[in-house]
Chains A and B, each alone.
Chain A
């Protein structure tokens, strides 16, 4: 069902292409296209934002975004359209709720775990505080070279 809507919109777009080409000057600025392209990644090259990708294919896609903006689509609609056509890899943080959860869950868990660890350690130390061991004295000068010599002498 969604696919049919998609193809309908594609047809509408293609119909718009002709008059758009016939027009001289476009109303959509490069900056506006880049605003949207910033949120997307090149579907073909790896890990390059669509805004910066220099290939001919990316030029085509930026041109498509320009057409879509001229057709009056909002930023979110364009992004959704790209996701439908190219998959979730085309955005920087997945929009699909399950994938977004997986992506964000681990860092959130980690930060939570760290806070928990800090709190627990803090409480443990507060509980164990009774002995303020004076530790002004630095440990005696390092004895390791002498220990080594001793070792070797003993080893024969």
Chain B
């Protein structure tokens, strides 16, 4: 049995306070609790979305883009062909290493007509991007990722990163970091050989 010390202080110190006993928690209390729950849910959603990673399988997220030459396309326009989607930037050193490899691979596959190379410039859309393309003699499609929307859709963590998308629009392979001609051939030939 313990004495409620509260009773001492209330009667000694404050004779002026009236105490109508309220039973149960009012609507305000429930509102507060529910707000905390909602806030928690929002934070959890944010955490979940931050933890998303690059797609390694399944349908490749669609996006629209406008190439450096001003032509507008959507990824889904390229359905029926194998797409090599490569994220790069002119300020990225490993990208410069893989650029000649990609160009060589493109020249190898271009005559077939069922492969498309698409370069997306991440946070890079100024004169230096054009210099980069000129320097490596890049002839395949390239588009700047305005507002970094495409990069966010694919949850890339940096550049260079490459996604190979098969003819049905499914992600066949994700390559983190630079890629070379040999690796590309090893991935592409099976996808193309099947048809």
Question: Which residue in chain A gives the minimum CB-CB distance to B12?
Answer: A140
Which of A27-35, A83-91, A101-109, A111-119 lines the interface with chain B? A83-91
B123 contact set on A, CB distance < 8 A: 43-44, 57, 86
Of the listed residues A55, A57, A84, A155, the one surrounded by the most CB atoms of chain B closer than 10 A to its CB is A57
Q: How far is the CB of A133 from chain B (nearest CB, A)?
A: 6
Question: Which residue in chain B gives the minimum CB-CB distance to A17?
Answer: B127
Of the listed residues B12, B13, B123, B146, the one surrounded by the most CB atoms of chain A closer than 10 A to its CB is B123
Question: Which residue in chain B gives the minimum CB-CB distance to A15?
Answer: B127
Query: Could you tell me if A10 and B148 are in contact, using CB atoms closer than 8 angstroms?
Result: no
The CA of A144 and the CA of B132, in the complex, are separated in Å by 77
Chain A interface residue count, Cβ-Cβ cutoff 8 angstroms: 32
The CA of A155 and the CA of B122, in the complex, are separated in Å by 72
The CA of A14 and the CA of B134, in the complex, are separated in Å by 12
A64 at the interface (CB under 8 A from B): yes
A67 at the interface (CB under 8 A from B): yes
Query: Could you tell me if B127 and A84 are in contact, using CB atoms closer than 8 angstroms?
Result: no
Q: How far is the CB of A31 from chain B (nearest CB, A)?
A: 21
B91 at the interface (CB under 8 A from A): yes
A149 at the interface (CB under 8 A from B): no
The CA of A61 and the CA of B91, in the complex, are separated in Å by 10
Secondary structure call for the A interface? helix
B108 at the interface (CB under 8 A from A): no
A24 contact set on B, CB distance < 8 A: none
Q: How large is the interface on B (under 10, 10 to 19, 20 to 34, 35 or more residues)?
A: 20 to 34
Question: Which residue in chain A gives the minimum CB-CB distance to B129?
Answer: A10
Query: Could you tell me if A43 and B148 are in contact, using CB atoms closer than 8 angstroms?
Result: yes
Q: How far is the CB of A73 from chain B (nearest CB, A)?
A: 13
| A/B pair count, beta carbons within 8 Å | 69
* Chain A window 142-156, contacts with chain B (Cβ cutoff 8 Å), 1 for yes, 0 for no: 010001001100110
Query: Could you tell me if A155 and B2 are in contact, using CB atoms closer than 8 angstroms?
Result: yes
A4 at the interface (CB under 8 A from B): yes
Question: Which residue in chain A gives the minimum CB-CB distance to B3?
Answer: A151
B27 at the interface (CB under 8 A from A): no
B144 at the interface (CB under 8 A from A): yes
B108-161 contacts to A (CB < 8 Å): 122-128, 130-131, 144, 146-149
Decide yes or no: A10 and B91 within 8 Å by CB, A3-B66, A87-B147, A147-B5 being known contacts.
Answer: no
30 contacts between A and B (CB under 8 A): A3-B66, A7-B66, A7-B68, A13-B126, A43-B148, A44-B122, A56-B91, A57-B89, A57-B91, A57-B92, A57-B123, A60-B90, A60-B91, A61-B126, A64-B128, A84-B147, A85-B146, A86-B123, A86-B146, A87-B147, A87-B148, A87-B149, A131-B16, A139-B13, A150-B3, A151-B2, A151-B3, A154-B2, A155-B1, A155-B2
Further pairs besides A3-B146, A86-B123, A86-B146: 5, Cβ < 8 Å: A3-B70, A14-B127, A85-B144, A131-B16, A151-B2
Which residues does A use to contact B, with CB under 8 Å?
Answer: 3-4, 7, 10, 13-14, 17, 43-44, 55-57, 60-61, 63-64, 67, 84-88, 131, 133, 139-140, 143, 147, 150-151, 154-155
Which residues does B use to contact A, with CB under 8 Å?
Answer: 1-3, 5, 8, 12-13, 16, 66, 68, 70, 89-92, 122-128, 130-131, 144, 146-149
